[in-house]
A and B are shown apart, each in its own frame.
Chain A
Amino acid sequence: MANKKLTIIASKGALDMAYPPLILATTAAAMDVDVTIFFTFYGLEIIKKGNADNLKVSPLGNPAMPMPIPIPTFISSMPGMEVMATAMMKSMFQKHGVATIGQLLALAQEAGVKLIACQMTMDVMGVKQSDIIDGVQFGGAAAWLDEAVDSQINLFI
């Protein structure tokens, strides 16, 4: 019996938004599902060399983000707030035994998850193929669609 298939479009490069694609991809691979992740726009940040564990999260425009004390929106835009929010979230993750983005990315590659970087957005944003981690393929919409039409699950994140 052929394996089930999952494809994910990872379009966000914030720390919190990098988790869902990689958690689902690694878990699906562990459940014998063939997985493809297509990294486009800001999702490319996840697969830039040495960048997976440098992603950031901002409280700005995110009223649901838990903060130690209530913080007015205009304070969220001040210098240092992004650094603080990022450090806070990383420490929360670490405390609860959550893998880092870098660890999940390595586990995904080890499990044979197919990674495709969007060549068009790379060109637009000045990202070179040599800026991207090894083991990633380069392609466009057709490369993702080729996998997606045969998949049971296709997610845009």
Chain B
Amino acid sequence: MSEEIKFDQYLDAKGMSCPLPILKTKKAVDALAKDQVLKVESTDAGSKNDMTSWAKRTGNEIVKTEEGSGLYTFYIRKTV
């Protein structure tokens, strides 16, 4: 059993295609306070690479990524 990560907000991006998961994530992270965590669930198989690139470019931290049964889960900490 994986360790549960606490999160402050949840974004359901399931069923959305590029670029919506990234655009919605950006909006949701903008609304967070520094160090708060957003949990994002996506079914877009491209979102793993996309989310990694987005986080790298914006300086936010992906605390954890989970993957299974076509579902991609990201925990993103707002660092800036």
Name the interface residues of B37-57: CB closer than 8 Å to any CB of A. 53-54, 57
A31 B15 Cβ-Cβ under 8 A: no
Checking A23, A33, A111 against B18 with a beta-carbon cut-off of 8 angstroms, the contacting residue is: A23
Checking A27, A97, A104 against B22 with a beta-carbon cut-off of 8 angstroms, the contacting residue is: A27
Residues of A within 8 A of B (CB-CB), count:
14
A155 located at the interface, meaning its Cβ lies under 8 Å from any Cβ of chain B in the complex: no
Return the chain A residue nearest B59 by Cβ.
Answer: A32
If A32-B57, A32-B58 touch, does A27 touch B19 (CB 8 Å cutoff)? yes
> Taking chain B's interface residues, is the majority helix, strand, or loop, or is none over half, making it mixed?
helix
A26 located at the interface, meaning its Cβ lies under 8 Å from any Cβ of chain B in the complex: yes
A107 located at the interface, meaning its Cβ lies under 8 Å from any Cβ of chain B in the complex: yes
Known: A30-B58, A31-B57, A97-B17; 7 extra A-B contacts, CB below 8 A, are A26-B19, A27-B18, A30-B23, A30-B26, A31-B54, A32-B57, A111-B23
16 contacts between A and B (CB under 8 A): A23-B18, A23-B19, A27-B18, A27-B19, A30-B23, A30-B26, A30-B54, A31-B26, A31-B53, A32-B57, A33-B57, A98-B17, A99-B19, A104-B19, A107-B23, A111-B23
Residues in chain A within 8 A of chain B (CB atoms): 23, 26-27, 30-33, 96-99, 104, 107, 111
